[in-house]
A = this chain, B = another copy of it.
Amino acid sequence: MATERVKEILSWYRSDNPGTLTNIARLLNHGKLAGTGKFVILPVDQGFEHGPARSFAPNPGGYNPRYHVELAIESGCNAYAAPLGFIEAVAADYAGDIPLILKLNNHDVLQDEKDPMGAVTSSIEDALRLGCVAVGYTIYPGTADRRFLYEQLQALTLEAKEAGLAVVVWSYPRGSGLSKAGETGIDVTAYAAQLAAQLGGHLIKVKLSTEHVEQAEAKKVYEKYNIPISTLTDRVKHVIQSAFDGRRIVIFSGGAKSDTETVLNEARAIRDGGGFGSIIGRNSFQRPRPEALELLGTLMKIYKGELA
Contact = CB atoms under 8 A, between A and B. Distances in A.
Interface of A: 1-2, 6, 10, 12-26, 28-29, 45, 47-48, 50-54, 57-58, 60, 63-65, 73-74, 83-97, 106-112, 117-123, 125-126, 128-132, 141-144, 146-151, 154-155, 158, 162-164, 173, 175-178, 187-188, 190-191, 193-195, 197-201, 215, 217-218, 221-222, 224-225, 227, 238, 241-242, 244-245, 247-248
5 contacts: A21-B96, A45-B198, A83-B199, A108-B141, A122-B200
Q: Taking the full assembly, how many copies of this chain does it contain? A: 5
A199 B29 contact: no
Contact of A146 (B51, B110, B112): B110
Contacts of A108: 141, 146, 191, 195
A15 B91 contact: yes
Interface core residue of A52, A117, A118, A187 (most chain B CB under 10 Å): A52
Contact of A14 (B73, B92, B112, B144): B92
Given A97-B1, A131-B23, A15 B244 contact: no
A152 to B, nearest CB: 9
Given A60-B241, A244-B65, A53 B110 contact: no
A10 B94 CA distance: 10
A88 B19 CA distance: 11
A73 B19 CA distance: 18
B19 A128 contact: yes
B130 A19 contact: yes
A221 B54 CA distance: 6
Among A26, A94, A176, A238, the one with the most B-chain Cβ atoms within 10 Å of its Cβ is: A94
Contact of A63 (B176, B187, B244): B244
* Most chain B Cβ neighbours within 10 Å, of A22, A45, A154: A22
Nearest to A58: B225
Contacts of A92: 14-15, 17-18, 21
A35 B151 CA distance: 38
A222 B53 contact: yes
Contact of A25 (B12, B86, B96): B96
Contacts of A10: 95-96
Nearest to A107: B147
Given A121-B150, A197-B85, A142 B110 contact: yes
Given A18-B130, A88-B16, A215-B51, A119 B93 contact: no
Given A26-B96, A95-B21, A191-B51, A111 B15 contact: no
